[in-house]
Amino acid sequence: MKLLRGVIALPVLLALMLSQSSVALAASYTLFGDASLVHPGNASDTAAQLRSVATTYGGVDFDVPSGTTVGQLTNLGTDYKFTSGSCGGGAPRFQINTAQGNIFVYIGPPPNYTLCPMNVWLPTGNLLLLPVDSSQLPGGTFYDTWAHVLAAYGSLAVTGIQVVSDGGWSVGTTQTVLVDNVQINDMLFTFETPPTKDSCKDGGWKDFTSAPGPFKNQGDCVSYFTTGG
């Protein structure tokens, strides 16, 4: 994975490479940096929370089928909700990794990608219908069309796709965004995981408002999963 970069030319200290501190939660995606699963999601039990404080970062790295090329990408989108700060500094964003550099796909109102509203879930729609940032690639531009990207770089292999928040420095506070229902072509990432007794801890038992819940308390919840119901 390539180093991450924001809209404004400020060095972002992200020598990522999905270090040993990354948390592999499923075969389909990996959380890294200051990222965690939280409850609830968008009309679901779970979402991914990405947080950036100053120059820290959080993100999700998605598995991409081997052999995927830029030209095969047709749909990229997510539901998102800010709970702290707002969009800015080139974050949050999707980034498409290639051997020649990243293609950045920014989340938020174009053309500045700032002033995202707080505490409301919003759908991006298909972000590939909007301008993308191909400036890391030879001959690329900041406001590039996907049609031009396909024509110029369509044969490049996609080596990874992430969604990242690293713009805390730009909003002068903590930048925290939740993402859910991430769409990459026909793949849908909902972050739902089978519940276990650990799901009952830290108030998690209260999230089971329907089957197998509701539970009376944490002990009731733990007992259910320990005994298999």
Domain coordinates in residue numbering, the chain: 23-192, 194-229
* pLDDT score recorded for residue 156: 98
Distances (CA, A) of 194 to 45, 63, 212, 219: 11, 19, 12, 19
The rounded Cα 122 to chain-centroid distance in angstroms is 14
Over 90: is that where the pLDDT of 72 sits? yes
DSSP-assigned letter for residue 116: P
- Report d(CA 42, CA 119) in Å as an integer: 11
Residue 197 vs residue 26, higher pLDDT: 197
For residue 211, name the pLDDT band (cuts at 50, 70, 90). low
* pLDDT score recorded for residue 2: 44
pLDDT in tens, 83-116: 999 999 999 999 999 999 999 999 999 999 999 9
Which residues are CB-neighbours of 159 under 8 A, at least 6 positions away?
1, 64, 97, 98, 99
| Contact in structure between 47 and 33 (CB atoms under 8 Å) | no
CA-based end-to-end distance of the chain: 43
Over 90: is that where the pLDDT of 48 sits? yes
Please tell me the class of the 23-192 domain.
mainly beta
CB-based burial label for 190 (10 Å; 0-12, 13-18, 19+): middle
